[in-house]
Amino acid sequence: MTSPVGLHRVVEPAGVLPQAAWRLDARQEIAPNEVRIRVERLNLDAASFRQLWEKHGGDGDAVRAEVLEIISTRGKMQNPVTGSGGMLIGTVEEAGRRSPLGLKPGERVATLVSLTLTPLVVTDGLARWDGRSEQVPCDGWAILFARSIAAVLPEDLDPQLSLAVLDVCGAPALTARVVSRYVAERAALAEGRPVTVAVIGGAGKSGSLSLAAARRAGAGRTVGVVPVAVEQDALVAAGLADAVVLADARDPVALSTAVTSALGVPADVTVVCVDVPGCEHGAVLATADGGTVIF
């Protein structure tokens, strides 16, 4: 019997969900409710790539070798240190007759489920990847379960751009929902006070999209927090935030001071979009009592 969430693909330890499993069965043959994707490109999670890059001192060959080892050993791409994976784009190769995903052979898709739970095989040894970027051109296959999610890519959108944006689509989506709730609550209470939003790591993919989502959802004032001047200049030029400040997100006092000074008050909603540890305390300090922090 095949599980809609992929339990039948778990090799070890038995009885856990695919994301928690150490190893998955990535065989090519699909069950009636599965879909096989011919993989074109992986997008490694930013935290995972940073950990690998720093571990190997920027040696791209060593990074590539470890990614290959992870995939071949685990039957999926899940960094054992960070626990994170990423996502992929590819073309539907075969769809089981009972698959509920509605995907058809030949469709180019981006998976919206993590590589940490996606059975994956790489067949080209990552020969076209230099190990120096998060996007990994490759050949191989991946398996989607009945409860997986995938988006058919529009033909007029560059695949690499699609991969970069869809990899972080959860952050702006959640930001929009949370900010919309605050805006609606204040409108119902006839409060004139605007909703304030801080995005830590505002110049990155998820950060810039979250700033745009917050504004679209009705935020009254937004601030983007970045660690270096070049990112500050880029975010100012993009015009996505009302204010852009420099601060080390790992310094709670400095971060809280920067956000509060830029907004005039602590943030109602703080969105953490950074790929380094140690930013939790500052995010909490920068947020108003009763506010929300999104990690």
Give Dmax (Cα) for the chain: 60
**What's the pLDDT score for residue 51?**
94
Instruction: Please state, in angstroms and rounded to a whole number, the distance separating the CA atoms of residues 283 and 198.
Output: 9
Q: Is the pLDDT of residue 162 over 90?
A: no
Residues 178 and 142 in one domain: no
**What's the pLDDT score for residue 154?**
85
Residues 285 and 242 in one domain: yes
Q: How many CB atoms lie within 10 A of CB 237?
A: 9
Residues spanned by the domain of 281: 169-293
SS3 92: strand
pLDDT category of residue 101 using cuts at 50, 70 and 90 = very high
Q: Is the pLDDT of residue 102 over 90?
A: yes
Whether residue 139 is contained in a domain is answered as: yes
Q: How many CB atoms lie within 10 A of CB 199?
A: 37
Considering only 42-51, 228-237, 252-261, 264-273, which range has the smallest mean pLDDT?
Answer: 42-51
Instruction: Please state, in angstroms and rounded to a whole number, the distance separating the CA atoms of residues 60 and 74.
Output: 21
Residues 44 and 89 in one domain: yes
Name the pairing type of β-strands 267-272 and 243-246: unpaired
**What's the pLDDT score for residue 159?**
80
Q: How far apart, in Å, are the Cα atoms of 188 and each of 126, 182, 290?
A: 55, 10, 17
Residues 148 and 179 in one domain: no
User: H helices within 149-251, ranges in order?
Assistant: 159-167, 170-188, 205-216, 229-238
Residues 126 and 226 in one domain: no
Whether residue 1 is contained in a domain is answered as: no
Instruction: Please state, in angstroms and rounded to a whole number, the distance separating the CA atoms of residues 120 and 152.
Output: 19
- Tell the burial category of 268 from Cβ atoms under 10 Å away from its Cβ (0-12, 13-18, 19+): buried
Residues 189 and 57 in one domain: no
> Of 147, 166, 185, which one is at a domain's C-terminal end?
166
176-190 burial code (b ≥16 CB/10 A, e <16)? bebbbebbeebeeee
Q: What are the strands of the beta sheet with 120-122, ordered from one edge?
A: 120-122, 135-144, 35-44, 86-95, 108-111, 150-152
Residues 161 and 24 in one domain: yes
How many structural domains is the chain composed of? 2
Interval 1-24 mean pLDDT: 94
Residues 286 and 240 in one domain: yes
pLDDT category of residue 32 using cuts at 50, 70 and 90 = very high
pLDDT category of residue 169 using cuts at 50, 70 and 90 = confident
Render pLDDT for 171-210 as a digit per residue (tens, 0 to 9). Answer: 999 999 999 999 999 988 888 889 999 999 999 989 999 9
Whether residue 2 is contained in a domain is answered as: no
Report pTM.
0.77
Residues 139 and 70 in one domain: yes
Which single residue is written with the structure tokens 């995903």?
A: 101
Q: How far apart, in Å, are the Cα atoms of 259 and each of 138, 160, 232, 282?
A: 41, 33, 14, 10
**What's the pLDDT score for residue 277?**
82
User: Where do the DSSP E strands lie in 29-119?
Assistant: 35-44, 86-95, 108-111
**What's the pLDDT score for residue 192?**
81
Instruction: Please state, in angstroms and rounded to a whole number, the distance separating the CA atoms of residues 257 and 266.
Output: 9
